[in-house]
Amino acid sequence: MIVKSRHLTLDKKKIGSVLLAIGMIAAVVIPLYIVKHALLPSAPRVNAGQLDLTGWDFEQNGVIPLNGEWSFYWEQFSDPEPDSQATPDAFVRIPGVWTSYVLNGNKLPAYGYATYTMKISGLKGIMALRLDHCATSYQLYINGKLAAQNGQIGKSAEEAVPYYESKTVIFNADKEKTILTLHISNFTYARGGLWYPVQLGRPGDIGSINNRIANQRTFILGSVLTLLTLCVYALFLGIRKPSLYYFMLMSLCSVIVVLVYGDYMLVKLFKSFRIAIVLEYLSITLFPMFIALFLQSLLQRPESWMKKIIPAASISLFGITLITPIHTFTRLIVVMEIWAVLITLYLLYSIATSKKTYKSSLFLGTVIMTTGGVVDFLYQACVIPVGNIASLGFLFMLLIFGFPLLQHYILMEKERTWAMERSKNAEITFLSAQIKPHFLYNALNAVANVSEKDGMKGSQLILDLAVFFRKKLEFTDLNRKASLGMELDFVKKYFEIEKARFGEKIKLDLQIDAPLEHEVPILMLQPLVENSVRHGISKKLTGGTVRIKATISGKNLCVEVEDDGIGIEPEKQKVLLDEGDAGAGVALLNIHQRMLHMYGTELEIQSTPGKGTTVRVIISGGKNA
């Protein structure tokens, strides 16, 4: 059983209600978005380069994606004229990338150029097409006339210029058949082709899609920038915690995600294709790492190999994107996505096994973020026909994560205020607790008994007792520190005094795997050891052992004082660090308050009646004395 101080909590019902509302909105909006855009059971598909829309009512059914089998001509820019009779090399699935196509028994390479064509019958009146970017440049012809262009197509890397931008084309379908011809070239990316659907509809409906994307981008950007502003305000208030910095980095990555999806604003902003792609892959490689570091800082889990390998591997993957050509690092997208999945699984496990009160909201936010990421990955891999919802999922995640972050800081601030208010009382209580008349009486009585039998040993005990009380009386500052070695020497002198009274009934076992020069709060160990002797092993008929363990975990020093005495009853454990008593609780409560004041960490007590007690102290940071 772990005992911690009584926290000053927020209104959990209100927080729970807000989190539930956000979760329900996300749980409804994301599936509705997918269903609305994915379920078009009556929509005709392109078959062998032909699409008949005679029975399609655009007013009732809306926009149609031109998915299906387009005519494909590899390594040629075929004649876009309507009467062209060229025989295609194959009919290929759109959307898709040509690296998945097989011609004459061979898979096509990433680099190359091709022509995609299709013929639409039954189309009349003023219509509109919407094209997302292709990999990585294209020219669109409608009935032989150039209608749109992205970058510069070419038959070699020297001729081709990549560019990403969504385009909307309005045209008059005044022919019996409307012929679409796309010339696409790629000499930059690891995959080439028409990887997003071409959408056809009335100009008003296509305009609504553009407006929805713009409005969604504005809403998400505004929300994320608001969160960033609040974080900056928190910095001005003096909050300098890793979790706040990680939250800000997560928000910045969310901004990048918003600017990537929809109409790829990054290229317009930076006027550089490479910078835009590198930033996109930054969100893939570093975003999961920032989320992991943020959650770990809130969960305050002990050091593990995953805490070290996640930053190392993520930064290495991003480093590859910085120093290698685009076609090299974009080949690693599957590796990056698998790594992101592994991080997510580790985080879900960490949250599920945590004992923090806000773990449910962290779990919910992580699941929503993962849902958006998985949907977009499948969409970009041309597995499902709908996507571009990751930015929405990330916004919900940030909103949900913001509540435990806020709760965490409010609790920390209240604990700090509480500790400051009680510091003077704690100091007086601590100092008065250092000299206990009954201990002095028992110690002198034990010295007298020993002196009768062994004068030299009695003299040494008197010297030890003098050193012991001198150090007690010299202690006037709660914030002073000493080396771990000095504290252990003081514990040994105390134990020698107690052994004069209890003999071999009590034993001291030191298991120190930490530098003796490491700084610790002065007079931290001895009161804990004294507590174990007085209230643990001395009350056991057969006596027992007090064991002191000291280890280094990351940058922290972990000290445990363990005994195999009579233990503490569960009822007493619940109030031990809140109220204390005239006995065991005073020393423990004083050490607990000092740790909160100096390091912001709490005393942890594990006790089983009849088996013993372990008191654990984490000293964050630290340096040599």
**pLDDT tens-digit series, residues 31-49:** 555 555 554 446 789 999 9
Cβ contact 137:163 at 8 Å: yes
Structure confidence at residue 129 (pLDDT): 96
pLDDT tens string 506-524: 899 999 999 999 888 877 8
- Does 429 score more than 70 pLDDT? no
**In whole angstroms, what is the distance from residue 119 CA to residue 121 CA?**
7
Q: What is the mean pLDDT of residues 47-72?
A: 90
For the sheet with 544-553, list strands across it: 2-3, 604-608, 612-619, 556-563, 544-553, 506-513
Mean pLDDT of 160-188: 92
Q: Which of 137, 178, 128, 132 is nearest to 156 (CA)?
A: 137
pLDDT at 9 over 60: no
Q: For the chain, give the percent of residues with pLDDT over 70.
A: 76
**Is the pLDDT score of 5 beyond 50?**
no
**pLDDT tens per residue across span 328-360:** 999 998 899 889 888 888 888 888 888 777 778
Instruction: Determine what percent of the chain is predicted with pLDDT higher than 90.
Output: 28
Statement: residue 110 has pLDDT above 80: yes
pLDDT of residue 13: 52
| CATH code given to domain 435-619 | 3.30.565.10
Contacts 24+ apart (CB under 8 A), 523-526: 523/434, 523/471, 523/472, 523/475, 523/487, 523/490, 524/487, 524/559, 524/591, 524/594, 524/617, 525/487, 525/488, 525/490, 525/491, 525/559, 525/561, 526/487, 526/490, 526/491, 526/494
Contact 3, 605 (CB under 8 A): yes
| Of 99, 1, 120, 119, residue with least CA distance to 56 | 120
Reported confidence tier of residue 478, pLDDT bands at 50, 70, 90 = low
2-38+207-409 and 50-201 share one fold: no
As a whole number, mean pLDDT of residues 241-261 equals 83
Spatial distance between the Cα atoms of 193 and 356, rounded to a whole number of angstroms:
48
- pLDDT value for 82: 62
Mean pLDDT estimate for the chain:
80
- pLDDT tens for each residue of 585-614: 667 777 787 787 778 788 888 999 989 999
Q: What is the largest CA-CA distance in the chain?
A: 122
For 96-129, the DSSP string reads --GGG-EETTEEPPSSEEEEEEEEEES--EEEEE
Question: Which residues, in sequence order, are CB contacts of 147 under 8 Å at separation 6+?
Answer: 129, 140, 141, 169, 171
**Residue 159: how many CB atoms within 10 A of its CB?**
13
> What residues does 252 pair with on adjacent strands?
none
Judge residue 354's burial from the number of C-beta atoms within 10 Å of its C-beta, 0-12 exposed, 13-18 middle, 19 or more buried: middle
* For residue 139, pLDDT beyond 50: yes
Instruction: Report the phi/psi class of residue 554: left, alpha or beta, with left for phi > 0 and alpha for psi in -120 to 50.
Output: left
Sign of CA dihedral 579, 9, 234, 603: positive
Q: Which fold has domain 50-201?
A: Jelly Rolls (2.60.120)
User: So what's the pLDDT on residue 468?
Assistant: 66
**Would you call 228 helix, strand, or coil by DSSP?**
helix
Tokens of 81: 């004229």
Question: What is the structure's pLDDT at 46?
Answer: 93
Q: What is the DSSP letter of 311?
A: H
User: E strand or H helix at 428, and its extent?
Assistant: helix 390-434
Residue 354, CA distances (Å) to 16, 250, 357, 406 in order: 18, 22, 9, 18
Q: Which of 300, 397, 489, 452 is nearest to 389 (CA)?
A: 397
| 543/526 Cα distance (integer angstroms) | 19
Dihedral, CA atoms, 440, 446, 448, 453, nearest 10 degrees?
Answer: -160
pLDDT in tens, 282-316: 888 998 899 888 888 888 766 667 778 999 999 99
Which residues, 6+ apart, have CB-to-CB distance to 354 below 8 Å?
A: 299, 301, 362
Q: Around Cβ 416, how many Cβ atoms within 10 Å?
A: 13
- Grade residue 555 by pLDDT with cuts at 50, 70 and 90: confident
Mean pLDDT of all residues in 221-233 = 84
pLDDT of residue 416: 67
Helix (H, G, I), strand (E, B) or coil at 152: strand
Q: What is the mean pLDDT of residues 315-321?
A: 94
Max avg pLDDT among 145-149, 251-255, 400-404:
145-149
Per-residue confidence band for 572, with pLDDT thresholds at 50, 70 and 90? confident
Q: Is the pLDDT of residue 584 over 50?
A: no
Give the pLDDT mean for 177-191. 94
Poorest-confidence range of 157-166, 218-227, 421-430, 568-577?
Answer: 421-430
* Count of alpha carbons within 13 angstroms of residue 277, beta-carbon side: 25
pLDDT band at 386 (very low <50, low <70, confident <90, very high): low
Answer yes or no: is pLDDT of 441 > 60: no
**Domain ranges across the chain:** 2-38+207-409, 50-201, 435-619
Q: Which fold has domain 2-38+207-409?
A: Rhopdopsin 7-helix transmembrane proteins (1.20.1070)
